[in-house]
Amino acid sequence: MNRGRVALLLGAFVLSLVGITCYGGPVTYIFFWLVLAIPVISIVYILFVFTFIRYYQKTEGRNMTAGTPSDFYITLKNETFFAFSSLRIVFYSSFSMVNDIEPDALYELLPHSAIKKKTQLVCRYRGEYKVGIKSIAVQDFFGLFTVTRRIKEPLSVIVEPALYELDTLFGDDTREASSHENMIRRDIPAIPVREYVGGDDIRLINWKSTAAMQKLMVRERTSEEKSGITIIMDPGRYDDNIENYLPVENKSVELLLALSSYYTRNFVSHEVMLLSDDLLHIPVRDMAGFEKLHRIMVRYYFREENNIDKLLQRICDEGAAASCHMFIIILQGITAKTMELVDRINTDRAAVKILLLGDCPADIVFSDDREISIIPVGTEDDPGEVLA
């Protein structure tokens, strides 16, 4: 509503009443009815536009990847004999962005005409939510009123998490192996290797050992081999507002997949533990295992009834993390109870790295005999920079 113009219209209406009361005559009555007709015509026009305007929107597909632009098509169509003016498109903007379209742009549609636009849609976070056109705003010819109406069938998409390929992890560069010390990672359990023999899978070549020994060395796999790295992700949803919980959950999944991808590409077996209806053990020993994990995380649902303490308690009860060499725990928050449970599952005094999406309370105390480090992570941080 344009308050200035509405005030001017009210002033004209009062003036017409004064004219009728004091002077009468056909001119004052014509002026009165004209002033009275203006808001009526405005409202009728707006209702007419909302009744007959047609809009269409589509993306390349319902599945998208966070941070990756996808083609997005918009059509506004006027099939009547009257012109539509001062139309504005309002987009969902909390979790997605439409490129090359100004949010305050006004459109006009001549009779039997259409406006077609091809642009790109970028979704920021993993999850399922509404994108594209949220509502259409219509302003009358006189500029008095603007009415915004939500569309009946908004566009919903499923956004897969973005994948990050880490070159380094916790200070270890997998591309550099110039000495025997570099061959053994401080934070990764030692990998059994042997000399290469004809017929070995070249994908199992351990380049760090090869550089140190000056001959081809391959990673030795045995059926009894047990994962030495356990990645645990907070399964809880701690807020009712989607604008608060979605960025945190998205970053949790991005961190998990970045870590698993790094270890998979470097032939390091590891295990991921999640809580859904039950405790999930997801061993990842090769690319097929990582692809299975990725499929699970695309559809993984964080739940209000789940929390990190419940997950850690289940791991304790089942002894699921015995003989682990390193824990990587992705947390949305941390309490003294959480650290107590971490101590309980860490029976072998393994190194613990906590990726914390939130603040660390000042009253959190760590055991002196434990190697525990906390890495703060923001919801908009690049995992490649945070985990390097």
Residue 101 has pLDDT above 90, yes or no: no
pLDDT on residue 181 = 32
Q: What is the pLDDT of residues 122-150, one digit of tens each?
A: 999 998 889 999 999 998 888 788 889 99
Q: How far is CA 97 from the centre of its chain?
A: 12
Q: Are residues 247 and 337 in the same domain?
A: yes
pLDDT on residue 334 = 87
Residue position matching structure tokens 């001017």 = 8
| CA-to-CA separations, 349 to 109, 182, 258, 321, 342, in angstroms, rounded | 70, 23, 25, 12, 10
Q: Are residues 335 and 274 in the same domain?
A: yes
Q: Are residues 110 and 250 in the same domain?
A: no
Residue 110 has pLDDT above 70, yes or no: yes
Q: Are residues 85 and 121 in the same domain?
A: yes
Q: Are residues 72 and 121 in the same domain?
A: yes
Q: Are residues 370 and 244 in the same domain?
A: yes
Q: Are residues 180 and 233 in the same domain?
A: no
pLDDT on residue 175 = 39
Residue 113 has pLDDT above 90, yes or no: yes
Q: Are residues 258 and 378 in the same domain?
A: yes
Average pLDDT value for residue range 158-168: 90
Out of 17, 33, 49, pick the residue that ends a domain. 49
Separation between Cα atoms, residue 193 and residue 372, nearest integer Å: 29
Indicate the average pLDDT of the chain. Answer: 82
Residue 279 has pLDDT above 70, yes or no: yes
Q: What is the pLDDT of residues 326-361, one digit of tens each?
A: 889 999 988 888 888 888 777 667 788 899 997 777
pLDDT on residue 173 = 45
Cross-strand pairs, 382 = none
Q: Are residues 45 and 58 in the same domain?
A: no
Average pLDDT value for residue range 366-387: 80
Residue 249 has pLDDT above 60, yes or no: yes
Separation between Cα atoms, residue 273 and residue 315, nearest integer Å: 9
- pTM beyond 0.85: no
DSSP 142: T
Count of domains for the chain: 4
Q: Identify the band that residue 222 occupies on the pLDDT scale cut at 50, 70 and 90.
A: very low
pLDDT on residue 104 = 82
Phi, psi of 184 (to 5 degrees): -105, 115
Q: Identify the band that residue 367 occupies on the pLDDT scale cut at 50, 70 and 90.
A: low
For 288, the token pair is: 């097929």
DSSP 185: -
pLDDT on residue 136 = 92
Q: What is the pLDDT of residues 289-335, one digit of tens each?
A: 999 999 999 989 999 999 999 998 888 887 766 667 888 999 998 88
Q: Are residues 375 and 262 in the same domain?
A: yes
Separation between Cα atoms, residue 108 and residue 244, nearest integer Å: 37
pLDDT on residue 180 = 33
DSSP 40: H
Residue 369 has pLDDT above 60, yes or no: no
Phi, psi of 337 (to 5 degrees): -60, -40
Q: Tell me what percent of the chain is helix, strand and coil, each rounded to the nearest 5.
A: 30, 30, 40
Separation between Cα atoms, residue 322 and residue 30, nearest integer Å: 91
Range among 23-37, 91-105, 198-212 with highest mean pLDDT value: 91-105
DSSP 229: E
Which range of residues forms the domain containing residue 15? 3-49
Average pLDDT value for residue range 18-22: 76
| Contact status, residue 246 vs residue 254, Cβ threshold 8 Å | no
Q: What is the CATH number of the domain that holds 76?
A: 2.60.40.10
pLDDT on residue 91 = 92
Q: Identify the band that residue 172 occupies on the pLDDT scale cut at 50, 70 and 90.
A: low
Residue 13 has pLDDT above 80, yes or no: no
